Amino acid sequence: MHYTKEIFKLSKIILLGLLLITTIILIKYKPVYSVYIDGNEIGYIDNKNDVEDYINHICNSNEANVAFASVNKMPEYEFKLVNNNMQTDESQVKQLIDDNTTKTYTSYAITLNGENKMYLASMEDAEEVVRNLKEENKDLQLGILQVYSENLEEIKATDVKEASISLAKNVKEQEEKERKIKQRTINGIYLAVKPISGVITSRYGSRWGSTHTGLDIATSLGTPIKAVAAGTVTYAGVKGSYGNLVIINHGNNVQTYYAHCSKIYVSKGDKIEAGDVISAVGSTGNSTGPHLHLEIRINGKTVNPQNYLYK
């Protein structure tokens, strides 16, 4: 009897002790979860479910333009007791989970001649833009393509009005460019570059009872002369009234002549690109002042350079 009473008393003391310890712990400490990604602790949170909900929200996002999203490394949690006055960092943890998320965006590209030009948010928007453009020109080679990218900026959608205006402008510029290229193309050779800029002092054609076989463009002595198109140098040296002359063969029976040069920087057989500097403006040969005499020939016959350049 006496023995049982002692045990009861002892249990009471132990129980009170435990209660006291628990109370102290609860006053001084609080339970949290430490969050780890890839073994690195990224912060403390009060509630594990909050973070799990957040991850579910990311992965099932209805965010505009997001085709799919996935968290690269799922976080791991560790239960801890920490000092009660310690702040948890939910927003930082969420931010780090965001940073650890790969999002794939989608939009609808309008293609012009097979090239992606503009991006729209939906198929309906893209179709509207195509309709708008076809009203102006039904022959345009337009298409719609759903595209995906991890970089939103790459495929960022514009609105229907902006896309229609911008594309119409693009089409005009493209047509203008094609028209220019066509104008400057002779026998399939595109004359991309004007050799020099200067003042036209004598045109192609009849002059004082004879024929001027080229176009004279005057500018200061030593001005670099550029090749109008890619080709092979077939002559580089002095030639009678031409003075210092460079002849370039561009293929397709098209040749260009650059005469009266003060200096020549290329040699026979050199392969050159459009815009390469081949010589310098001078007044050698039959010339009264520094100028370039430019000739364009097809099958050896001169044509008016101003049909193609310096119009």
Q: At residue 71, what is the residue type?
A: V
The nearest distance, CB 139 to Zn ion, in angstroms, is 43
Kindly tell me which of 293 and 297 has the beta carbon lying closer to Zn ion: 293
Q: How far apart are CA 68 and CA 126, in angstroms?
A: 21
Instruction: Compare residues 93 and 215 and give the one whose CB is closer to Zn ion.
Output: 215
Give the interface with Zn ion as residue ranges (CB under 5 A).
214, 216, 293
Residue matched to tokens 């080709």: 231
Q: How does DSSP assign 137-199, residue by residue? A: -TT--EEEEEEEES-GGGG----HHHHHHHHHHHHHHHHHHHHHHHHTEETTEE----S---E
In the bound state with Zn ion, the residue whose beta carbon lies nearer, of 43 and 214, is: 214
Q: How far apart are the first and last CA of the chain?
A: 126
Task: Work out how close the CB of 214 gets to Zn ion at its nearest, in angstroms, rounded to a whole number.
Answer: 5
User: Closest CB to Zn ion among 226 and 293?
Assistant: 293
Which of residues 45 and 292 has its CB atom nearest to Zn ion in the complex? Answer: 292
76: helix, strand or coil: strand
| Selection from 35, 94, 98, 95 nearest residue 72 by Cα | 98
Phi, psi of 276 (to 5 degrees): -65, 140
Return the number of the residue (151 or 286) whose C-beta is nearest Zn ion.
286
CA distances, 299 to each of 97, 186, 187, 229, 296 (Å): 71, 12, 10, 17, 10
State the nearest-atom distance from the C-beta of 239 to Zn ion, in Å. 13
Residue written as token pair 């001649």:
113
We find the least distance from the C-beta atom of residue 203 to Zn ion, in angstroms, to be 9
Instruction: Report the residue number, 231 or 243, with the smaller CB distance to Zn ion.
Output: 243
For residue 270, what are the contacts with CB-CB under 8 A and spacing of at least 6?
232, 233, 236
* Smallest distance, Zn ion to C-beta of residue 257, A: 10
| Residue facing Zn ion at closest CB distance | 293
Q: Find the shortest distance in angstroms from Cβ 179 to Zn ion.
A: 29
CB of 231 to Zn ion, least distance (A): 21
Please name the residues in contact with 25: beta carbons below 8 A apart, sequence gap of 6 or more: 81
